[in-house]
Structure 1
Amino acid sequence: MNREELFDKFLQRSLTRPQAEELKRLLRDDPAAGRALVEHINEASLVVRVGSQLQSLPTAAAQVTELRSREWVSGRARRRVAFWKWAALAAGLAALALAARSLFPIARTLRATVVASNGEVAVLRAEKSVPAETGLHLQQGDIVQVGQPGRAVVVFDGEATRAELQGGGQVKFSASRRGKRLELLQGALEAAVAPQPKGRPMILSTLHAEARVVGTRLLLASEVSSTRLEVSDGAVEFTRRSDGQSLLVKNGFTAIASPNTEFCALPFLPAPWRSQDIGAVGLHGQARFDGTAFRVRGAGQDTCCRKDQFHFLYQTLDGDGEIRACVREVEFTDPEAKAVVMIRQSLKTASPQVSLGLLASGGLELEHRARLESRLERPGHAGTPSWLRLVRQADVITAYQSTDGSNWTSVGSHTVPMSEEVYVGLGVTSFNHSALSTSLFDNVSVLPLAAPAAPAAPN
């Protein structure tokens, strides 16, 4: 499409989005294009069209048309024609201003404040680093950077919108007449977004995807080759950048944008798995399944002594059976933070239980509570990945560890009487009431034990 056709479509307000972008580039890259647009608008044949488009100067347009049709040549007529030409020029400039306002949104003042920060948190501003102290007002284009471990919370003034950036993350904050924009450069961002003005959603973007948020609670995590979205409340339009495909992710669902992953919304947890906090944990945990692995986040002060405090991902098991899982990651919030496989009588904090865990410091920990107080054993040291397994036979529960998931070594067994139905699953504790630790489990399976074969009948 040539330049004149773009100008005509602009005056008719019929530009498509690609055409608007083309006009935007033209006006930005070619200074003569702006002058040409004004001259185009100033032509007498377009005066009436400009006047009707802007809904202004209707009398002027009619008078110029009448003047042209009757071809007045008197001095008074020439003066009136000149006057209306200047009016047409003014109208053209006004149209150009409207175009600039539409194509180049005016930056609005960013109204956001750092209200909490833990660990090493800084704001990168105009190539300088500013300490992210509580009460710091962010400016347009500021990048909030959080060290590992660490945490920063930013709220937007005048509304209930808050964004929590987790350790190792970077987020760039900006605002325009089209709405707020948070660009997640790396790490994970958890946000609770209040209802936004109509036509001005909050945009959360990463290298791989873009989320348009009207009002919801969500988690957005940017990794090397993918971006993960989790929606805890409301709904989010999620767009994959590689092909422009979009989908609506609703409450209780997650989606991953990656070139090598099916782009679809999946429930947080597949049946029959469920999760909840056990005991007074300090911060609410959560568990998610991404189609391959379980990601469990938990706080609390360990799973020992008289009361447990952790986040538990579980299902029920009737009778004899086993659980096995590979622990891929244990986030270091404390040397005693750990990821466990567990069998327990109930979901109460002081329930009888047996668990085998991998500490963030690398140690193995076998724990059991038959009645009131648990007992701990530390049978060795293992790094990640590490395969853990518990086998229940009647009241005896035996723990195993493996480096490959095939060759198992027993690390101990305990007799803990429980009812026929028990709870079996994965647990995470941060050993810190004010921090969440995340662990990654895959190759998870819960299986009943096969009944022993009946003895062969004598011949």
Structure 2
Amino acid sequence: MNDKNNWEELIDRHLRGELDEAEKERLAKLLDSNADARQEFVEHVQWDTEMSEAVRESSHSPRDADILAAERAKTDGQWASKPTFLRFTLAAAAVVIVALSAGLIYQLAYPVGEAPKTNNVATQHRVSDESIARITGLSGLLIWTGDRGQIVRDVKVGTELAGGTIEGMTPDSWFEIQFNDGSTVMISGTSTLTITDPGQKELRLREGFFSANVVPQPKGKPMLIHTRSALLEVLGTQFDVEANLASTMLNVTEGKVRVRRLSDGLEVDVPAKYRVIAEGGGDLTPQPVPESVIHWKSQLHLRPGCYGKWLPATEQRAAAQKAIPLVPPENPGITLYLLGIPVSRSDGPPVVVRSDSQFVVRGRLKKPAKVYFGIAVSYANGDFAGKFRGDLDRQQPISEPDEAGQFEVVYRISDFTLDPCVHDRKEELAPMPDDLVLNGVWAFTHTGGPNGLEITEVELVPP
């Protein structure tokens, strides 16, 4: 097998999660040192992202479009034998490969010998001359992949965007943009969203949680939202969406949204205060949004969390979500061990946090540690309401595992305070999580090394 086939096989297996640590290190070194391998990857990102073609159509002249089409014809043959899923996934998952090597980020954005002569885009307030939206809020670890595969980690409020993909990398990530017509969209948690507007807004939610407040759109040009299982047409409304590999849940707060299930082409209009779940073979009849509940338990025995390593149940132990290392970009000298668990609305009613409730967290530790705990909440209409921590108002005690390595810790809602990462928006956010909808929880340790943090259950206990 020649070197080029080796590159393709490594990238392919990495995206499927099949590489061991030694192979990951080998791939990182290859991409960091081999300009040809990097160029292959960059060209693929440039030409094989479905949404980037629409972006290019809106931002280039007809003559430019002809040149781009000719260049694409030269490269299409190189990738014709690639599996379809790989061609689509490479652009959206570009940052996964990039994350293998810290030095690789710069080299992917600017091939060898082509370093920019101007300031880095992260210090500017524009990433393209053809802006379709601007960032109005963000927090947590986020990565923006712009048109032509440009990767930007240090995105900022006020930055103007032409089109591309935003990826929330951790369970506490949050990102909001406003289109030029005033429509706003938001993602939270480990979500991936691609945006473009070549005369008609078109978005692709690959996975995660998304909400929007859409002003009336031009006649015949509704906002289109693609997921893996459905197509949504939006003329002007307020709604939220939760998407995963197998299904799409739509919850409409105001207005009306048309949903088309991709597996059979069946369409249905979903009115305000109704929701529908689009999945293969399921009922597509809109149902009233169920009444909220105030008691909730995680279901790790049925499904994995959204961040960390899922450990299925065995005869000897309960299922758990295991924390994995995270190095904050703003503080590379620190390593946190983090995990996240979503609160899905696709298979149950909204979960509301009461002021006198408490969270009980159960799990396993290999040695004593402080277990820090946070939550993300939204308003009933899906709008972001804030992130809160249950360990800041008072000194967090050290959790002591028993002889079997089990621990339990309680966090009272009355002790929760706004997470420092969103303090800059405290005037716009809720001061407390009381009576808000729970979207997800996360936990982490900071002990200078691994301590075996695994969460087996999180329970919201009402008064």
* The two structures share one fold, judged by TM-score above 0.5: no
Q: Normalising to structure 2: TM-score of the pair?
A: 0.40
Q: Which has the higher contact order (CA 8 A, sep 6+)?
A: 2
- For the pair shown, the structure with the greater C-alpha radius of gyration is 1
